[in-house]
Amino acid sequence: MLKVSAPGKCILLGEHAVVYGHPALAVSIDMRLEINIKKLSSKSEYHMIEGKEIKRNHHPHIFDAINEIWGADSQKLAFEISSEIPTSAGLGSSAALSVAISMGLVTLKNEKIDLEKISSIAHKLEADSQGGLASPMDSSTSTHGGCILLANEKLGKNWLYSRTLNNKKWEIHSFELHQNIKDVAIVIGNTGIHGSTGDLVKGVKKRLEENPKLIQDIEAINALTALGVNAIEQGDVETLGAVMNLNHTHLQNIGVSCKELDDLVSAARETALGAKLTGAGGGGCMIALSKNPKQTARDIELAGGRSYICKFGVEGVKIEDSMID
């Protein structure tokens, strides 16, 4: 049985500003999705998952990956999936699945492992399942691990590659985390509320049209992302925490936070270096950078959230067990 795992992700800085052409910064987290794949006998008629036939309306990522990589008429396969990543929480669970299945099927075909190719396939799987629209941020972060910066232009020596899909182009960059950054934890607080990314993006657009001065908040988020990248490279955790706090204020100003997120952020700041919402907002999760993660997690729980303590900047997709039938 072939075992592959891929990490989830959280966005550190740059939410919503990325929609307007500015960079956004994401890190991999040590919540992982694992997929087990084995070949079935020649008598098998269907690809199976958890003992059931794989159908596109139920398992679009896996169904499309089989057609894209393995071939629908090739030997049938059986899949089992387990995941530590909460779904519909903005933590990259869908991308982790796309990345892990892509790596697994490419490995089964005995093809050379090329992480850029894995990321590209996974990005396409994500876009196809979302009606043709998807940023490569989640798939790139889950593939490569570490710290990924998404931008619309090449930004210096940390550039990895360009990605184009449906006439839209992105530039992917990778940054090393300073040891000081690795010594702190990300504490995630989940509100349990599921916001619609599409609706939230549309809401920001509408508010910007009604109040053009809000573009100043978008520009401020852009500037803070640049400061955050520098803090990560320099190992300045205090500055990174302060930048996160300011980023959250600007996200509040453009109307994508909510009381539940603000309550968790406020509670976390009692013991954290900084805290902010992560992802589209309107619910979902917040993150806190903390040297006292257990205390920060407790404060988040007392404020009504579900907490998770995570290492971040962890290894990307990897083969856990390569024993193939």
CATH of the domain at 64: 3.30.230.10
pLDDT digits (tens, 9 = 90+) for 228-242: 999 999 999 999 999
What DSSP designation does 71 have? -
| 19 lies in the same domain as 51 | yes
| 70 lies in the same domain as 191 | no
Domain that holds residue 22: 2-177+314-322
The predicted pLDDT at position 127 comes to 86
pTM of the model: 0.92
| 116 lies in the same domain as 185 | no
**pLDDT above 70: residue 30:** yes
pLDDT digits (tens, 9 = 90+) for 259-315: 999 999 999 999 999 999 999 899 999 999 999 999 999 999 999 999 999 999 999
| 53 lies in the same domain as 74 | yes
Which sign does the torsion angle of CA 171, 176, 181, 187 carry? positive
| 142 lies in the same domain as 270 | no
Give the integer Cα–Cα distance in Å for 140 and 119: 5
Q: Do 178 and 233 contact (CB within 8 A), yes or no? A: yes
The predicted pLDDT at position 56 comes to 85
| 163 lies in the same domain as 228 | no
Which is more confidently placed, 179 or 303? Answer: 303
| 227 lies in the same domain as 285 | yes
Instruction: Provide the number of structural domains found in the chain.
Output: 2
The predicted pLDDT at position 91 comes to 93
216 CB burial (10 A radius; 0-12, 13-18, 19+): exposed
* pLDDT band at residue 20 under the 50/70/90 scheme: confident
Helix 237-253 with 215-234: angle, nearest 10 deg: 170
| 237 lies in the same domain as 126 | no
Which is more confidently placed, 204 or 196? Answer: 204
Give the integer Cα–Cα distance in Å for 104 and 200: 34
CB neighbours of residue 198 within 10 Å: 12
| 135 lies in the same domain as 183 | no
Task: Check 30, 64, 138, 236 and give the catalytic one.
Answer: 138
Q: In what order do the strands lie in the sheet with 306-310?
A: 274-278, 285-290, 185-190, 306-310
| 125 lies in the same domain as 227 | no
**pLDDT above 90: residue 182:** no
**pLDDT above 90: residue 145:** yes
The predicted pLDDT at position 135 comes to 86
How far CA 164 is from CA of 14, 110, 158, 208, 292, in Å, comes to 20, 26, 19, 27, 41
**pLDDT above 60: residue 325:** no
The predicted pLDDT at position 81 comes to 95
Give the integer Cα–Cα distance in Å for 36 and 325: 12
CATH of the domain at 284: 3.30.70.890
- Known catalytic residue: 199? no
pLDDT digits (tens, 9 = 90+) for 203-231: 999 999 999 999 999 999 999 999 999 99
Which pair of structure tokens corresponds to residue 181? 């950054």
| 172 lies in the same domain as 210 | no
| 236 lies in the same domain as 120 | no
Q: Strand pairing of 147-151 and 185-190?
A: unpaired
pLDDT digits (tens, 9 = 90+) for 46-100: 888 988 888 888 888 899 999 989 987 788 899 999 999 998 888 999 999 999 9
Average pLDDT for the chain: 92
Which is more confidently placed, 194 or 147? Answer: 147
